[in-house]
Structure 1
Amino acid sequence: MKNIQKALLTLVPYLLIRILLTLFPEALNQIDQNVTETVVQLRNVIADTYFRTMTQLANIDFIKALIIVTILVLVLILKKWKTALIYTSGVIAGNVWLNPMLKNFFQRERPNEAFRMVSENSYSFPSGHSFASAMIYPLTVYIMVRHTRLSQHKKVAYFLLAVVVLSVGFSRIYLGVHYLSDVVGGFSLGFSLNYLTRYFIKKIETPS
């Protein structure tokens, strides 16, 4: 049940932000605006290159490729087709259905175009890049550590995972396409669904 408890716990920040968006939108927007303006002042050539690169790791084409490779490894090499089915169901439910549905529900506008370094057309809350990086990357690493020799280097794997996830999230603020609360909300939902999917994976892989 630990994964269920973690799923509920990591969902708390999203719920708190949702309450703030509903009850105190102006106050939250002001905080977000202040953070964005502060981060924008940190821009420089090296950071521009780094965060432009890191944000690509959660772009739809890269994420699709990662998902496909993971599924192929699970089915063709590890022979874990049930795990592959749950993994696929989780990432589709989260990234194709849940996150877009929430964006359309809240219809929160993105930061002013004057702040943006890249072009984005969808709504702002929650951040899809942050959601994907917090759900898919940890879930994929979890599966690989559980079933491959990556378990021998799991400390390095988890360190690199933390760097990628945090960099993707911060890149969305740095590039001026999301507010801090968008990123935190995306992280919260992503980690929560990650732990929920882990629960079902562990359930089907553990003998009764």
Structure 2
Amino acid sequence: MKKQSQKISTSLGLISLVIFLILTYGVVLHKEWINSFDNYFGHMVRDLATPSLTSFMIHFTKLGNFESLLGFTVGAGLILFLVRKIKAALFLLINGVVLAAPIDSLVKHFINRPRPTLTHLVSVHSSSFPSGHSMSIMVIAGSLLLLANRILKNNTQKLIVDLLLIILILGIGISRIYVGVHFASDVLGGWTLGLVTLTVSQWAFNQFAGGIS
């Protein structure tokens, strides 16, 4: 079962890497299919706009801010330390604090994609690809999802936690398109780069620390 889980994780990581590289190629070379992809999904999300949904999205997207995720990650890490899940705590903290933001910033710096020219409903200060919110929430919520499925014994609890984390990952990404600060390809790029980061980190913990929990 463990080997099968590792194979699935590796396959998911490789698929994510391929998708990320394809997206990067399209963004850097300004391919028309990237524009079509962004326009299609951008209109799909923004066509949902209502005053109440806009108010919700402006607040909801802040859950993916660096400060919010840092506080949440450190808090969750401390709880794991207190219940003596040392490897789990280190896995979460290294992924969420040491890896996610620096990797995203480095990639943003080299690609330097301009933000959408739409009205921005929240303030932003960096380039567009990949979405840092989408990458960070994928790394942090993905770490918690992996840990929950190893630590929790009750299948119902696992299912509830998994669903909540998946909704959070999808919701934060979609909110970045909705508030006008990211293209759809930025969000997909953030998710896939986050999955690659998570896969490599999990592999390293399995190789050198005997697992993540």
Question: What is the TM-score when the length of structure 2 is the normalising length?
Answer: 0.84
Of 135, 146, 149, which aligns to 1:142? Answer: 146
Which residues in structure 2 correspond to 1:143-162 (within 5 Å)? 143-148=147-152, 152-162=156-166
Q: Whole-Å Cα distance in 2 between the matches of residues 171 and 45 of structure 1?
A: 14
> Which residue does 2:95 correspond to in 1?
90
User: Which range moves more in the overlay, 155-164 or 18-27?
Assistant: 18-27
CA distance in 1, matches of 2:57, 2:154: 27
The answer for the alignment partner of 2:201 in structure 1 is 197
Counterpart contact for 1:130–1:168, Cα < 8 Å: yes
Contact 2:100 2:139 in 1 (8 A): no
Does structure 2 retain, via aligned residues, the 8 Å contact 1:70–1:140? no
CA RMSD of aligned residues (A): 2.2
Deviations 1:85-110 (A, max 9, x none): 33322223432321000111111110
Paired residue total: 204
1:77-116 aligned within 5 A: 77=83, 79-112=84-117, 114-116=118-120
Matched residue, 2:171: 167
TM-score normalized by structure 1?
0.86
Indicate the SS of the match to 1:176. coil
Q: Give the equivalent residue in structure 1 for 2:15.
A: 9
Percent of aligned positions that are identical: 28
Structure 2: where are the runs of 5+ without partners?
Answer: 1-5
Deviation at 1:5, TM superposition (A): 2.8
- Is the aligned partner of 1:126 residue 2:127? no
Q: CA deviation at 1:184?
A: 0.4
- Deviation (angstroms), 1:26: 4.9
Structure of higher RCO (CA pairs closer than 8 Å, 6+ residues apart): 1
In the other structure, the counterpart of 1:58 is: 64
Give the Cα–Cα distance (whole angstroms) in 2 for the partners of residues 150 and 117 of structure 1.
41
